[in-house]
Amino acid sequence: MQLVLFMSVIVGLVFTSIITYYIIDNFYTGMDDMNLNNDAMNTAETHVRTQFAMIDYALIFFMIALIGGLVITTFFIPTHPIFFAINILGIFVLIFIGIIMSNTFGELTQSEGATDAGIKAAADEMLPKSTILINLLPFIAAIVLGIVSIVMFAKGQGGGGY
């Protein structure tokens, strides 16, 4: 369940960032068309456009931090080994959910309407790494769940019950 929430948060953040960049780009294009430029506005536009690329790296860092936190907290969960088989079945369910999220994101950003509106260009221009991660989301989720399963059941069951 944590990984489904994790995937939803990542997809939501990436899509929100793409839409935000699309809106900012249209805003500055409209301001340029109205010839209301001054030095302060040009400086602000330059700062926004150059700093927006950092969001791509922040999203990647956020994804790695969530994965690391998940693996670390999983180590402290006492489980019975029978749940390993349930986790293996969960990988297939998670892959299916990841495929749905990845395809939905692809349709929202790569479809003909998105290309005409400029959303595809915004995604490709400002968040190329995050877009690739979303396209690989089912594989990343399966690998993370595999690692979490190994961590959860590889540790010793010393001391207490389950």
Taking phi over 0 as left and psi of -120 to 50 as alpha, with beta for the rest, 149 belongs to: alpha
**Whole-model pTM?**
0.74
CA dist 112 and 129 (Å) reads: 22
Give the pLDDT band (50/70/90) at residue 159.
very low
Q: What is the mean pLDDT of residues 109-124?
A: 77
CA 76 to chain centre: 25
53 backbone dihedrals φ, ψ, rounded to 5°: -65, -25
Q: Where are the alpha helices (DSSP H) in the chain?
A: 2-33, 39-52, 54-75, 83-110, 112-117, 119-126, 128-135, 137-154
> Structure tokens of 92?
């297939």
pLDDT band at 158 (very low <50, low <70, confident <90, very high): low
Domain ranges of the chain: 2-154
Tell me, what's the pLDDT at 2?
A: 73
pLDDT tens for each residue of 33-65: 787 777 888 888 888 877 877 888 888 898 899
